Amino acid sequence: MNKRIIYELKGMYRDSFRVTGYEYGTGEKSVCIVGSSRGNEVQQVYCCSLLVKKFKQLENEGRIKEGHKILVIPSINPYSMNIQKRFWPVDNTDINRMFPGYDMGETTQRIADGVFKEISGYKYGIQFTSFYMPGDFMPHVRIMDEGFSEASVAGQFGLPYVIIRKVRPYDTATLNYNWQVWDTQAFSLYTTTTTRIDQNGSGQAVLSVMNFLAAQGIIKYNVPQLLKAKVVNDTDMVSVRTSESGIFEPLIKAGGKVTTGQPLANILNPYEAEVIETLYSPVDANVFFIHNEPLTYANTAVIKLVQ
């Protein structure tokens, strides 16, 4: 294992901003794994820390195959994590909207550029990332519909779902999108949580990366019998929306099965505890996502279902 500083920026009064990477093996740049890019992505750092430990063990046991290099970067944004702010401390920009970066540009463009120079050129790129809405997810792999990351390859992670995301204009500056522009097959891994550590979810994330690396012949590891992942276009998911704002009372959990007409959640009047709205399932489906904050706004897709 080789621990080294990937990128560094001097602070005025703070310690230097450092992006630290862990390298394993030598040879072809096979896979790069990136953890948090936002200040609240704690689970994402934690998943990477488990991988750092696991790869150290695999390396010591000679189970990283000859000719493969693996790079893990647990966080590309420790500055934001340390002050518990989602985006860049000074100007609130999102590093994951700055790729491929620009070395003569603004601070987060420079960080994106400095990091991207180190993490591009890999055959596969895996990013642990988060959704901007607070909620519990079914763990899944996300790929973009433009580009050449294939659903069948994404299935090698062994997670229950592969989501194909229709590219929106603002996606074009994300790491996932730009990896693909520069010939890296990119996969975004969504684990169960963001701001809290979920042991089971992170364990599953680590195993899924192991499954993938074993399938690609990068590590020696006996992959268990995997279920075939369900491939879903994000535009085909059924969103259940609130029409009222209020207290959100979920009646189901992510991963559960629901039937048509089943009550999924109540919205309560926050002063009078009356149920002002009940959300019902429009279809027979699995619960893919559920909002997990106590309050909700109107018009919010608090539940997403896959058929």
Partner 1 sequence: MVKTITSVGLPIDEILEIKKNRIMPDSPSGDMKRISIVTGIHGDELEGQYVCFGLQQRIMQEKENLSGIVDVYPAMNPLGIDSVTRGIPAFDLDMNRLFPGNKDGNMTEYLAAGIIEDVSGSDCVIDIHASNIYLTEIPQIRINELHEDRLVPLAMEANVDFIWVHGASTVLESTFAYSLNSTGTPVLVVEMGVGMRITKDYGNQLIDGIFNLMQKMGIWKGNTKEVKKPVISRNPDDVIYLNASTGGLFIPAARHGAKLKKGSLIGRITDPLRGEVLDEVKAPADGMLFTIREYPVVDEGSLMGRILKKEACGYE
Residues forming contacts to partner 1 in the complex (CB under 8 A) are: 9-13, 86-87, 90-92, 97, 104-110, 132-133, 168-170, 172-173, 241, 244-247, 270-271, 295-301
Structure tokens at 38: 């936002």
User: Minimal distance in Å, beta carbon 198 to partner 1?
Assistant: 22
User: Minimal distance in Å, beta carbon 108 to partner 1?
Assistant: 8
- In the complex with partner 1, the residue whose CB is nearer, 49 or 107, is 107
- In the complex with partner 1, the residue whose CB is nearer, 8 or 28, is 8
User: Minimal distance in Å, beta carbon 6 to partner 1?
Assistant: 16
* Three-state secondary structure string covering 19-68: EEEEEECCCEEEEEEEEECCCCCHHHHHHHHHHHHHHHHHHHCCCECCCE
CA distance 260 to 8: 54
- In the complex with partner 1, the residue whose CB is nearer, 90 or 227, is 90
Q: How far apart are the first and last CA of the chain?
A: 44
- In the complex with partner 1, the residue whose CB is nearer, 14 or 53, is 14
Rounded to 5°, the CA angle 148-150-153 comes to 135
- In the complex with partner 1, the residue whose CB is nearer, 222 or 271, is 271
User: Minimal distance in Å, beta carbon 180 to partner 1?
Assistant: 15
User: Minimal distance in Å, beta carbon 303 to partner 1?
Assistant: 13
Structure tokens at 269: 């009047």
- Of the candidates 202, 204, 203, 216, the one whose C-alpha atom is nearest the C-alpha of residue 156 is 216
Distances (CA, A) of 286 to 16, 73, 290: 46, 33, 11
User: Minimal distance in Å, beta carbon 175 to partner 1?
Assistant: 15
In this structure, the number of other CB atoms found within 10 A of the CB of residue 133 comes to 13
- Of the candidates 177, 184, 114, the one whose C-alpha atom is nearest the C-alpha of residue 153 is 184
- Of the candidates 89, 70, 87, the one whose C-alpha atom is nearest the C-alpha of residue 36 is 87
- In the complex with partner 1, the residue whose CB is nearer, 211 or 300, is 300
User: Minimal distance in Å, beta carbon 187 to partner 1?
Assistant: 22
- In the complex with partner 1, the residue whose CB is nearer, 30 or 296, is 296
